[in-house]
Amino acid sequence: MSSEITSIVLAGVGGQGILLASDITALAAMNAGYDVKTNEVHGMAQRGGSVIGQIRYGKKVYSPLVTKGTAKVLAGLERIEILRYADYLAKDGLAVVNSQMIIPVTVSMGVSKYPSDAKELLAKIFPKLVYFDAGEEAAKLGNIKAANVVLLGTISNGVNLPIEAWIEAITKRIPEKFLDLNIKAFNIGRNIKK
């Protein structure tokens, strides 16, 4: 039953735009004619804390929550965040990571360490890993905040939604002023396949 359903898990830091990314993904699935459910964390968790968003689509979706070990794509808007949620990814699922770092206060205070070998850690765990600086790609376009949409482009390679469904979703959710930039951002992400 659950094999007919595509699940995507997005992990990041509160304020990075997970809500928007998850919204666009869900809309893209809806545009492609699927039943879809999402869940995101609001409130306390958004003040710079670790957050996840979950999207599931298919012919008929019951649970808005993803079962561990079943996500087709696990994506991190920050360098190490998906390491907290690795158990969501299905075997041979796609792991997509924005290499941008956000140093948690716990590291600055000296009570914990930010792993210096994050890329190696990620590569060791995830056989299908795409790791790149989505922030830099977005900054080149003129707005670092579009990093989430760059990442969506890469995520789109791991699922079977038609490109038109994605573009329609972006067009619906992004204000016209920023639409051109965000469509470019999406296409840049979609062309990253390392």
Partner 1 sequence: MELLSGNEAIARGAYEAGVTLAAGYPGTPSTEILENIVQYKDVIYAEWSPNEKVAFEVAAAAAMAGARSLVTMKHVGLNVAADPLMTLAYIGVKGGMVIVVADDPGMHSSQNEQDSRNYAKFAKIPLLEPSDSQEAKDFMLYAYDLSEKYGTPVILKTETRISHSRSLTELGTRGPENKTDFIKDQSKHVMVPLWARGRRVQLESRIKELKKAANESEINRIEMQDTSLGIITSGVTYQYVKEAWPNASILKLGFVFPFPDELIKEFASKVKNVLIIEQLDDFIEEHVKALGIKCNGKDVIPNIGEISPSILLDIKAKMEAGSPISAPYKNIAEKLPGRPPVLCAGCSHRGIFHALTEHDVVIAGDIGCYSLGTFKPLERLDIILCMGGGISMAHGMQKANNSKKVVGVIGDSTFFHSGITGLIDIVYNKGTSTIIVLDNRITAMTGHQENPGSGSTLMGEPTVALSIAEIGRACGVKRIFEINPYDQKNTKNIIAQEIEINEPSLIISKAPCVLYSKKPINKQRSINQEKCKNCRQCLRLGCPAIEADEGKPHINPHICMGCSLCQQACKFDAITELEDRTNVI
Q: How many CA within 13 A on the CB side of residue 18?
A: 30
Residue placing its CB nearer to partner 1 in the complex, 44 or 193: 44
Residue placing its CB nearer to partner 1 in the complex, 110 or 193: 110
Pairwise CA distance, residues 116 & 101, whole Å: 11
Residue placing its CB nearer to partner 1 in the complex, 49 or 162: 49
Residue placing its CB nearer to partner 1 in the complex, 110 or 175: 110
Least gap, CB of 132 to partner 1 (angstroms)? 19
Least gap, CB of 40 to partner 1 (angstroms)? 6
Least gap, CB of 71 to partner 1 (angstroms)? 10
Least gap, CB of 182 to partner 1 (angstroms)? 18
Least gap, CB of 15 to partner 1 (angstroms)? 8
Residues that bind partner 1 (CB under 8 A): 1-2, 13-14, 23, 26-27, 30, 35-50, 61-69, 80-81, 83-91, 102-115, 121, 125-126, 144
Least gap, CB of 191 to partner 1 (angstroms)? 26
Residue placing its CB nearer to partner 1 in the complex, 35 or 133: 35
- 3-class SS letters over the chain: CHHHCEEEEEEEECCCCHHHHHHHHHHHHHHCCCEEEEEECCHHHHCCCEEEEEEEEECCCCCCCCCCCCEEEEEECCCCHHHHCHHHEEEEEEEEEECCCCCCHHHHCCCCCCCCCHHHHHHHHCCCEEEECHHHHHHHHCCHHHHHHHHHHHHHCCCCCCHHHHHHHHHHHCCHHHHHHHHHHHHHHHCCCC
Residue placing its CB nearer to partner 1 in the complex, 178 or 187: 178
